[in-house]
Amino acid sequence: MTNNQSNDFVVIKAVEDGVNVIGLTRGTDTRFHHSEKLDKGEVMICQFTEHTSAIKVRGEALIQTANGEMKSEAKK
Amino acid sequence: MVITTDDLETTCPNCKGSGKEDRLPCPKCSGKGVILTGQGNTLLHFIKKHLHE
Ligand SMILES: [Zn+2]
């Protein structure tokens, strides 16, 4: 990404143990190239980069982006 | 410090760890069934680097 804007990041806070943050590759094939496990209370600040065009959150977490705040839910 | 398997890798949510999709290698994890974490990659690269010393 050439014009790296300062708001191109996402803040994720785990509400429960074992939240997974998964990065998807940029390009024609969208593979999972990186994962990260967050335990309750842990925070991750993720940036969209030349390698990562999408971020997937599994588990209950609070997510903040430039577009607002939302909550992901645990699978029932 | 204790490192668990969950700290090193995550089961692929697309193939649920089988590494396969419609009998072909899962396109999301390249057939591995897992996705490595930053810590997993750090450990893997460290061991690879020093294994044959
Ligand atoms: Zn897979």
Under a CB-based contact definition with an 8 Å cutoff, are residues B7 and B40 in contact? yes
A37–B35 C-beta distance less than 8 A = no
- C-beta separation of A27 from A41 below 8 A: no
In angstroms, rounded to a whole number, what is the distance separating the alpha carbons of residues B20 and A32?
14
Mean pLDDT, all residues of chain B: 95
Q: Which B-chain residues 8-47 have CB contacts (< 8 A) with chain A?
A: 9-10, 12-14, 27-30, 35-38, 41
Note the pLDDT of residue B20. Answer: 96
Q: Are A37 and B6 within 8 A, CB to CB?
A: yes
CATH topology of domain A9-66: Immunoglobulin-like (2.60.40)
Taking residues B12-20, report their average pLDDT: 96
Residue-range domain boundaries for chain A: 9-66
ipTM: 0.84
- For the stretch A19-75, pLDDT in tens is 999 999 999 999 999 999 999 999 999 999 999 999 999 999 999 999 999 999 998
pLDDT of residue A5: 52
Q: How far is the CA of A46 from the centre of ligand 1 (A)?
A: 22
The pLDDT value recorded for residue A43 is 98
Span B10-33, average pLDDT: 96
